[in-house]
Amino acid sequence: MYKVNEVFQTIQGEGSFTGMPAIFVRLQGCPVGCAWCDTKHTWAINMEQQVDLAQVSAKQADSEFWANVTPKALLALFAERGYQARHVVITGGEPCMYDLVPLCQALSEQGYSSQIETSGTFEIKAPADCWVTVSPKLNMAGGYKILASALQRADEIKHPVAMQKHVDELVTLLTEHQILNKLVYLQPISQQKRATELAIASCIQHNWRLSVQVHKYLGIE
């Protein structure tokens, strides 16, 4: 069973799969505590907020309501809604609080590819063919450390930046863990000119890539 906060179909706006149609499955629960998080409604797991899947699927706005869902029920929801995307992004919250192997295997058996978006602070339990995006959340309020195993497992590392110290922190992290030959994306935390210019300059300096949250520029979810 997975605690699901939200399910929707859209265009992936970040990282290597930018522009790809995708079904997002947002899981409830995250203790990391990023100050600038835009999904704080997924942090707490309150039993009083548990509802059924029909109520979650009918949500029109962000809320703390969540439903316990099996992979089979989730796939049935995809069919019921007539989703055409074949790529599923499992996000949160912090999805790696859960064992994602059963979910990803069920998706694969039905012809879906899967992608996990994680902070890198929990052990990643997922099949080898699942694409893993680690967005390392350093020095956050929850006090969680980035796991070496998560960095090694990552297919891409996507790091949010607003100021030079964020770039420096990433350089230190990659150096300490001897992370070489990984896809590295810098992503401005906001759409502000200063953060974007910093990200562009740093990508050129380090031969990284830029991720600009295309969905926010388009005004879609």
- CA angle, residues 16, 99, 140, in degrees to nearest 5: 65
93 is in an annotated binding site: yes
82 is in an annotated binding site: no
39 is in an annotated binding site: yes
- Alpha helix (H) ranges present in 13-124? 53-57, 71-81, 101-109
Q: What is the DSSP letter of 66?
A: B
Single out the residue of 215, 183, 161 nearest to residue 16, CA to CA.
183
Token output for 83: 């989703």
124 is in an annotated binding site: no
CB-based contact 14:214 (threshold 8 Å): yes
36 is in an annotated binding site: yes
Neighbours of 200 (CB within 10 A): 14
38 is in an annotated binding site: yes
Determine the Cα–Cα distance for residues 197 and 204; give it in Å rounded to an integer: 11
37 is in an annotated binding site: yes
Single out the residue of 47, 216, 59, 15 nearest to residue 26, CA to CA.
59
**Omega before residue 93 within 30° of 0, cis:** yes
57 is in an annotated binding site: no
11 is in an annotated binding site: yes
Binding positions for Mg(2+): 39
Binding positions for substrate: 11-13, 26, 91
Binding positions: 11-13, 26, 30, 34, 36-39, 91, 93, 135-137
Binding positions for S-adenosyl-L-methionine: 36-38, 93, 135-137
Binding positions for [4Fe-4S] cluster: 30, 34, 37
